[in-house]
Amino acid sequence: MIDIICFSTTPWDPIPTRKQQIMKRMPENCRIFYLDPPVTYIGPLKDPSLRPYLTKFRKSPKRVKKNLYVFALPPIVPFYNIKRSVNKFNQKMIAKFVQEVIYKNFGLKSPVIWTYMPNTIDILKHLPYRFLIYDCIDKHSEFQGFIDKQVVEEMEDELAKKSDVVFTTTMGLYNKLKNLNPKTYLVPNGAEFDHFNKAARKLSAPDTMKNIPHPIFGFVGVIHTWIDTNLIEYLASQRKDWSFVLIGPVGAGVNVDNLKKYKNIYLLGRVDHRILPQYVSQFDVCLNLFRVNRLSENVSPLKFYEYLATGKPIVSTPMPQVEEFSDVVYIGKDYNDVLKKCEEAVSEIKNEKDEKVLKRIEYARLTSWDSRVSQILEILKREGIYIE
């Protein structure tokens, strides 16, 4: 039996991301110990929803599947991405918890450590492990908050060098880390194909969308600082006969008061993932609107692959991972151009036999999570890591 400890950057619930999609597709003879990221002691001051995480680590793990357990970690000291000494202290404390609660209780000897967090470089000397896998999904040093870019870059560089295999989601991340570790591979994000392909059909409209006029331009995902809300405001102000529906929670520190002023912008909040296709099926056009900066240059947007599975027209800002699908995506270079691309996308929906619809769906099928995980397992096998 193979044991895997996954240090994640996002909690298991409520929004499925790359981490959950990969871990739940690991072979059934593996035991997966998924660790939600710890909150800092001051985290709830900025985001009150984090308060339960201060004590959640005292509760029993959540058993998602027969072989998959989700654990909360104890809270940690802030500023760990500024002072390396703080991170070393935090990681030593986390290691003690992991040793006592997971290694001891579940009889782990030498698991695979599968991490998404650069700062876990400082936990490695405190935990026995057989193989180290780093899955790099973001340009971590470009996040906002209490961060010293140099400190984060140094931790990531050390982690990449020490890893047995490194996965990356974008070419930019691949080019950087390949120079540090020759066993670096590009495996972009994927689509939960069967789930989101349901939205290719016209499903019954949920109550909150029944009276929203068409055409509907829809967005799904957390409204983080890297989502260009100013662009959405611009589009809504230019075309008041269009409706803009945003589905997902508003991230901590993000102000959307400018959007609430518009009668044609609908902020629906978080929707249960299980019924999300019902909402997306009401979209006429899907929006993938990121701010253009160094962070978005190194993002493989999950929502984009989910949009592909619906077959619906997609309007996007420029992103390297989207450019390769330019034959079926409307990519706007600036605000005015994005507006023009939206108009082109609306024209497409009038042509029910447009071949782009089938092509998007086929692209999504080829980039499904099942396909991505098969690719990952095959790479690991070639590198002598047998997870099967």
Residue 259 lies in a domain: yes
Three-class SS state of 109: coil
- Against a cut of 0.75, is the pTM above it? yes
Backbone angles phi, psi at 48, to 5 degrees: -55, -25
Q: Could you tell me if 377 and 293 lie in one domain? A: no
Round to the nearest angstrom and report the end-to-end CA distance of the chain. Answer: 9
Query: CA dihedral in degrees (324, 326, 328, 333; nearest 10)?
Result: 140
Enumerate residues 6+ apart whose C-beta is below 8 A from 242. Answer: 215, 216, 217, 235, 236, 264, 342, 346
Do both 171 and 217 map to the same domain? no
Whole-number Å distance between alpha carbons of 57 and 11: 13
Residues 96, 115 share a domain: yes
35 & 139 share domain: yes
pLDDT at site 352 = 65
Q: Kindly report, residue by residue over 17-52, the tens digit of the pLDDT.
A: 999 999 999 999 999 999 999 999 998 988 888 899
Helix (H) or strand (E) holding 184: strand 184-186
279, 375: one domain: no
Helices (H), 262-351: 276-280, 294-297, 302-310, 320-323, 335-349
- Decide if 388 is inside a domain: no
Query: Within the chain, which residues score under 70 in pLDDT?
Result: 352-353
- Domain harbouring 124, CATH code: 3.40.50.2000
Per the structure, the count of domains in the chain is: 2
Whether 317 maps to a domain, the answer reads yes
Examine residue 387 and state whether it is found in any structural domain, yes or no.
no
- Shared domain check, 313 and 215: yes
In a domain, 89, yes or no: yes
Do residues 165 and 375 lie in contact, with contact meaning Cβ atoms separated by under 8 Å?
no
Does 111 share its domain with 199? no
Cβ-Cβ contacts under 8 Å for 272 (sequence gap 6 or more): none
Are 155 and 290 part of one and the same domain?
Answer: no
Residues 220 and 145 placed together within one structural domain of the fold:
no
Check whether residue 39 and residue 165 sit in a common domain. Answer: yes
Same structural domain, 141 and 205 = no
Q: Is the peptide bond before 318 cis (omega within 30 degrees of 0)?
A: no
Question: Can you give the residue range of the structural domain that contains 30?
Answer: 2-189+368-382
237 and 336 share a domain? yes
pLDDT of res. 353: 64
